[in-house]
Structure 1
Amino acid sequence: MTEFSWPDRSQVPASDDIDRSWPATVSALPLGSHVSGRVIGRQPFGVFLLLNGAPNAIGLAEITAIPHHMELPALGATVAGEVIWHADHNRQVKIRLDEWHTPG
């Protein structure tokens, strides 16, 4: 297995379900809310998450929010973080992982 992988399609909600649920997802996960989920894909630009309590939502923690000394969490890891953006164009909830917060 390589260091990077796209999410297995069997783990990702259907795109129609994601689209239909998007308004409810945005409402249920406002900016600043705390979420947790499981890493289902790793790419050089970040990790994809299945979010707990939001069955038709995909989270993305991008490396733009990662401190230089940190590494991407492993595939299958459970992580938590803060909702920092809703990407309407691709229906992703952008997350800053708790472990990536730097003091001050």
Structure 2
Amino acid sequence: MGSTARGRVKDRFGFGVFLELEGAPEVHGFIDLLSYNPDGTINDPDAAPVPLPQVGEFVEGVVAMHVDRDRQIRIRVGLPYWELWPREPEQTD
């Protein structure tokens, strides 16, 4: 986990995309909707939603999780949404 993965979008669904990974055709790559945040606006209520990549596009991200049983890795593109939550302003005394 934490390494870079790159692949071509093989299938696209409303909940995420499946990738054919470069150099590892036996492994399935998956990016879910909340893990695709290339421009960092996933938590901005005023920002337009970022569409998932189309079939045939190449995508690069960070390996966030793996499922050995399914030979699948989950990939994150951009910062995770939990790191982008609005933070409370620090109080000064």
Shorter-chain-normalised TM-score: which range? Answer: 0.5 to 0.7
Report SS of the residue matched to 1:41: strand
Superposed displacement of residue 63, structure 1: 0.8
Specify the alignment match of 1:45 in structure 2.
15
Q: 2:26, 2:71 within 8 Å by CA — same for their partners in 1?
A: no
- Counting only pairs closer than 5 Å after superposition, residues 1-104 of structure 1 correspond to structure 2 as 31-66=1-36, 67=42, 69-97=49-77, 100-101=78-79
After the TM superposition, list the runs of 4 or more consecutive aligned residues in structure 1 that deviate by more than 4 angstroms. Answer: none
Please say if residues 4 and 61 of structure 2, whose CA atoms lie closer than 8 Å, have aligned partners that are also in contact: yes
Aligned residue in 1 for 2:89: none
**Which protein is bigger by CA-based radius of gyration?**
2
TM-score by length of 2: 0.67
Distance 2:69 2:25 in 1: 19
Which one scores higher on RCO, CA 8 angstroms, separation ≥ 6? 2
**Unaligned ranges ≥5, structure 1:** 1-30
Match of 1:22 in 2: none
Distance in 1 (CA, whole Å) between partners of 2:24 and 2:70 is: 16
Letter in 2 for 1:53: G
Query: Cα deviations across residues 46-99 of structure 1 (Å, max 9, x unaligned)?
Result: 0000111112111000112132631100110011000000023432110012xx
